[in-house]
Amino acid sequence: MSPRLAIDHPIYRTRFIETPAALCGGIFQPMRRCLTSLAVLAAAAMGGACWSGGDRDRPTSGSGGSGPSQPPVGIVTTCAGTEAPLPALADLPNIGELPDPFLSLDGTRITRADQWACRRVEIAAQAETYELGAKPAKPGSVTGAFDAGKITVTASEGGKTVSFAATITPPAGGTPPYPAMIGIGGISIGGTQLADMGVATISFPNDTVAQQTNSSSRGRGVFYDLYGSDHTAGALIAWAWGVSRLIDALEQTPAAQIDPTRLGVTGCSRNGKGALIVGAFDDRIALTIPQESGSGGSASWRVSDAQYESGTVVQTLFEIVTENVWFTRSFSLFGYAAKQLPFDHHTLEGLVAPRALLIIENTSQVWLGNMSTYNNSMAAHTIWEALGMPDKMGVSQIGDHAHCVWNGSQQAEVTAYVQKFLIGGGTGNTSVLRTDGGYTFDKAKWAPWDVPAL
């Protein structure tokens, strides 16, 4: 397997196992009731009801060598090169703080920068298994055709073919092939300013790839036409698959006049959640700028729960799994159990490292989890600190505007990141960690782990 494939699809060393946990996710249930259902289904499974050959009798190791009480939901190769189970919910421990991003699944902490690549594989496997669903590898055939300002992406696999089109808007100046910013559903971070810098924009039709109308739109869109309406992927990871196919097409379509080595991604609100997942799961994205993405984006499930419990009404995991189809079905099991997730969104942001990430947030949008997004992103920043490149990850949280309305108060940060990490050669200040909300990063509470020098 080529290094590019291993990077673009970090799940490639993970195997998913069909378990009763996957059967509880269609409609959100109170946790106690769902766990009761799981116990009944697990007992039936142990009797041979639904386990497929090979994985059914796989020995597993747990604390004390006794093994998990339920079969694992997946298996991943660790940084030590050994196989580790991804436990079912009932066997996941409560972790009150944000999980240590530097602690490998083999129980050792990474100590070298080159080990971050294997930690990314582990974190990506956890995220796909528990929250997002699986991102399929590149199909057998992906082609691109450019005409009248649009690139049509066609993908074929297993006798099925699907296509979608993305609109490309070149800048007035500059020299092709242009660097480009891909907008999930559009761009809200100053399209005119991007064009003035010589950056093209590409509007990615995420609703065509995977619908997100409401909780009844699961399994609709060209992604599911290709892979089936019952595929584990929620809309966010389906969009990430679609952007990867868009990049595949750009790489082989010079008529589009886009430089595929200088690509960024952005999006606002729900589309900002998608932008983060796109950047996390494809290393060909040089710069990721999620804007006001909140819960499921730059907020932490754990910190949002704490903010809610303190009396501030913010969106939590419990609420979001009932709202739409952004996540895999079985993620609803964690509605009352965010502390049992073995990862959180600081590590999802960390999947972008060592590439560039700029978090754009809005303190006025309380529902997004303003304190949560700040603490989560500050915790994520320690990953870039450990890698010796803190100026490649920034946080800007300003609350002087309505949701997804760009008034220019954060333009300096965007311009500096675009010029330095997307266009190349920029010298602006990218060491930006600011909020106008008066928040203090509570590292002792949320990130008590040591930050190594990798």
Within 8 A by CB and 6+ apart from 271, the residues are 183, 184, 185, 186, 206
Residue 163 tokens read as 């296509």
- The closest of 160, 163, 139, 159 to 151, measured between CA atoms, is 163
- Rounded to whole angstroms, what are the CA distances from 319 to 29, 258, 369, 402? 12, 40, 13, 23
Query: Final residue of a domain: which of 44, 65, 97?
Result: 97
pLDDT value, residue 106:
93
Respond yes or no on whether the N-terminal peptide bond of residue 354 is cis (omega within 30° of 0). Answer: yes
Q: Are residues 307 and 383 in the same domain?
A: yes
Can you tell me the distance from the alpha carbon of 390 to that of 392, in angstroms, rounded to the nearest whole number?
A: 5
- The closest of 191, 185, 190, 179 to 166, measured between CA atoms, is 185
Catalytic residue among 104, 364, 401, 403: 403
Residue reference for tokens 């915790």? 379
DSSP-assigned states of every residue in 79-111:
TTS-EEEE--GGGPPP--S---TTB-TTS-B--
Total of domains in the chain = 2
CA dihedral 408, 411, 412, 414 (to 10 degrees): 170
- Identify the three-state secondary structure at position 202: strand
pLDDT value, residue 67:
53
Q: Are residues 342 and 438 in the same domain?
A: yes
pLDDT value, residue 9:
42
- The closest of 349, 375, 393, 382 to 435, measured between CA atoms, is 375
Q: Are residues 42 and 150 in the same domain?
A: no
Residue reference for tokens 């699944």? 105
Q: Are residues 243 and 335 in the same domain?
A: yes
Q: Are residues 93 and 194 in the same domain?
A: no
Q: What is the pTM of this model?
A: 0.87
In 15-65, alpha helices (H): 31-46
Catalytic residue among 188, 203, 244, 269: 269
Q: Are residues 338 and 284 in the same domain?
A: yes
pLDDT value, residue 69:
80
Residues 222/136, Cβ–Cβ less than 8 Å: no
Q: Are residues 87 and 178 in the same domain?
A: no
Residues 245/221, Cβ–Cβ less than 8 Å: no
Bridge partners (DSSP) of residue 74 are: 16, 86
Residue reference for tokens 């952005």? 266
Residue 73 forms part of a structural domain? yes
Q: Are residues 84 and 170 in the same domain?
A: no
Query: Final residue of a domain: which of 97, 124, 155?
Result: 97
Residues 235/244, Cβ–Cβ less than 8 Å: no
Residues 249/259, Cβ–Cβ less than 8 Å: no
Residue 128 forms part of a structural domain? no
Q: Are residues 81 and 151 in the same domain?
A: no
Residue 372 forms part of a structural domain? yes
Residue 86 forms part of a structural domain? yes
- Rounded to whole angstroms, what are the CA distances from 39 to 20, 45, 332? 9, 10, 17
Residue 453 forms part of a structural domain? no
Q: Are residues 52 and 182 in the same domain?
A: no
Residues 233/219, Cβ–Cβ less than 8 Å: no
Q: What domain range is 64 assigned to? A: 3-97
| Tens digit of each residue's pLDDT, the chain (454 residues) | 222 323 344 433 344 443 333 323 322 223 323 332 333 223 223 222 222 222 222 223 333 344 558 899 999 999 889 999 999 999 999 999 999 999 999 999 999 999 999 999 999 999 999 999 999 999 999 999 999 999 999 999 999 999 999 999 999 988 999 999 999 999 999 999 999 999 999 999 999 999 999 989 999 999 999 999 999 999 999 999 999 999 999 999 999 999 999 999 999 999 999 999 999 999 999 999 999 999 999 999 999 999 999 999 999 999 999 999 999 999 999 999 999 999 999 999 999 999 999 999 999 999 999 999 999 999 999 999 999 999 999 999 999 999 999 999 999 999 999 999 999 999 999 999 999 999 999 999 999 999 999 9
DSSP-assigned states of every residue in 230-295:
T-S--HHHHHHHHHHHHHHHHHT-GGG-EEEEEEEEEEETHHHHHHHHHHHT-TTEEEEEEES--T
Q: Are residues 282 and 334 in the same domain?
A: yes
Q: Is 269 a catalytic residue?
A: yes
Query: Final residue of a domain: which of 97, 130, 150?
Result: 97
pLDDT value, residue 338:
97
Residue 115 forms part of a structural domain? no
Q: Are residues 91 and 162 in the same domain?
A: no
Interstrand relation of 178-184 and 258-268 (parallel, antiparallel or unpaired): parallel
Q: Is 156 a catalytic residue?
A: no
Residue 132 forms part of a structural domain? no
Can you tell me the distance from the alpha carbon of 54 to that of 24, in angstroms, rounded to the nearest whole number?
A: 24
Q: What is the CATH number of the domain that holds 377?
A: 3.40.50.1820
Residue 136 forms part of a structural domain? no
- Rounded to whole angstroms, what are the CA distances from 372 to 5, 181, 235, 316, 389? 34, 27, 23, 10, 24
